[in-house]
Amino acid sequence: MSEREAGADRPKRTRIELLVRAETGDDFQTREVPSASAYLESRPQRIPVGDYELARLPTSIQGTTAYVLKNRRTEDYLMLTEQETFLWEQMDGRASLQEIATAYVLRYGAFDFEAIPVLISKLRRAELLIMRPASRLREVLARNQRNPAARAAEAALHALERLTVKSRRSHDVFARMYRYGGFLLFSPAAVLVLAVLVVLGARSAVELWSDSGEVTKGFAGHALVAILLVKLCFWLTVVSHQLVHALACVHYKRRVREFGFTMLHGFIPTFYVDVTDIFMASRRARIVNALSGPLVHLFLAALYLWTASFPGPGLLKAFLATSAILQLQSFFISLYPFCFLEMDGYHILVDLIGFPTLNHDSVRFMRESLGPHLMRRARWTRQEIACVAYFVLSLLSVAGFVLLNLWVIVHAIRS
């Protein structure tokens, strides 16, 4: 039963032999049941209606529609294509896979025979969204396991990653924070306060710019303290960024799945909040959620700049001005979508163009498909144009960012 088919890589489908007795007497029949036919005759049953939620995403740049399927009990999310959603809707426990496949052919005119097994695997796994991005560093280390240095680095990263502290019951805390004042952040008054503060901050920035020499002198003699203070304060504002994301999630009546502290990629200490549930809300909600975090940095930058205009030259003024610059930098970096990092701006961009896997697909396209595509001189689809544009813009942006920083360092050393 287990021998391989001639010339094929896959082993033969297995069969089991069953004996079925007659209702009376000793008579019996034996039947061979191939696993494939058992599979086709199985009748997948989706979980009860109240236990899942299906949300339609806007039509994408490719002209296709995607859906997000949420398991309310486990809080797992699955992104489905329109065809997969059709298959999901057939899985009512009454239709066999064979009947589902037939219904698919009648609806779409063709059938990919891998579609059902792939979908079933996805549905069974049902943990497709991981908030902490997979580390490319870990991938490289895993590929070099024979190297003792790589093994040591892997062990160190593993130890650091265990420093993760998280709570899956944080939603109630955020809901209370929202109830006791957090809701004000999403009111017109908050927008007005932010606008006024930005104007005040901009005016102060102009004044401080003209006295930049005086401002930087404030660090003289306190360089180490100043750096530590600025870094510490900035790191704490990351909590505010995450906090506001969580409040935005509550504002749109979605669930905050997790809040915690972790070593991102094993070496970047950071706070994080899992707001995956916002995918089940409207596009407006998703965009507001993504924008809310960076706006914290804009608010703090404007506040620092404005308050920096009051004290006289000294450590406090220098601290406020430097912190404002860091906050502004964070604001722009968070919102800038073209940098291969999937930050808030990236999420807004992919939501607007309806291409949720843009980063991943663009890197894969450039690595695997661009060459053959150019050789074939094939026509460019909108999706391919988006991939190339994203990749090129991101590459230029990263190069520009590195060059700018080099220029700043060189300029600082010379002066």
Partner 1 sequence: MASRPDVAFLRQVPIFKDVDEQVLIALWPSLRERRLRKGEVIFREGDPGDELFVIFSGSVVVSKPVTGRVEQVLNRLGQGEVFGEMSVFGDEQKRSATIQADTDAVLLGLRRDSLYRLIESSPKDAAKFFLEMVRFTFKRLRDTSDLVAEVTRWGLEATGLDVEHR
Which residue among 6, 8, 9, 26 contacts partner 1 (CB under 8 A)? 26
* Closer to partner 1 by Cβ: residue 21 or 203: 21
**Cβ atoms within 10 A of the Cβ of 1, count?**
11
Query: Nearest approach, Cβ of 150 to partner 1 (angstroms)?
Result: 25
Per CB under 8 A, 4 contacts partner 1: no
Per CB under 8 A, 125 contacts partner 1: yes
For the chain, what is the total number of helices (H) and then of strands (E)? 16, 8
Which residue among 6, 19, 110, 268 contacts partner 1 (CB under 8 A)? 19
Query: Nearest approach, Cβ of 92 to partner 1 (angstroms)?
Result: 17
Q: Which stretch binds partner 1 (CB under 8 A): 25-33, 102-110, 190-198, 326-334?
A: 25-33
Which residue among 4, 18, 162, 392 contacts partner 1 (CB under 8 A)? 18
Element (H, E) at 165: strand 165-167
* Phi, psi (rounded to 5 degrees) for 212: -60, -35
**DSSP-based three-state secondary structure for 16:** strand
Per CB under 8 A, 20 contacts partner 1: yes
Per CB under 8 A, 27 contacts partner 1: yes
Q: Which stretch binds partner 1 (CB under 8 A): 30-38, 48-56, 75-83, 177-185?
A: 30-38
Per CB under 8 A, 16 contacts partner 1: yes
Q: What is the DSSP annotation of 193-254?
A: HHHHHHHHHHHHHHHHHHTHHHHHHTTTT-HHHHHHHHHHHHHHHHHHHHHHHHHHHHHTT-
* Closer to partner 1 by Cβ: residue 18 or 396: 18
| Alpha-carbon dihedral angle through residues 225, 229, 230, 233, given to the nearest 10 degrees | 180
Per CB under 8 A, 121 contacts partner 1: yes
Query: Nearest approach, Cβ of 1 to partner 1 (angstroms)?
Result: 6
Which residue among 14, 45, 59, 145 contacts partner 1 (CB under 8 A)? 14
Per CB under 8 A, 120 contacts partner 1: yes
Structural Rg of the chain based on CA atoms: 28
Q: What is the DSSP annotation of 58-77?
A: PP-TTS--EEEEEETTTTEE
What six digits make up the tokens of 169? 């019951």
**Cβ atoms within 10 A of the Cβ of 360, count?**
11
Q: Which residues bind partner 1 (CB under 8 A)?
A: 1-2, 13-23, 25-28, 30, 35-36, 38-39, 42, 116-117, 120-121, 124-125
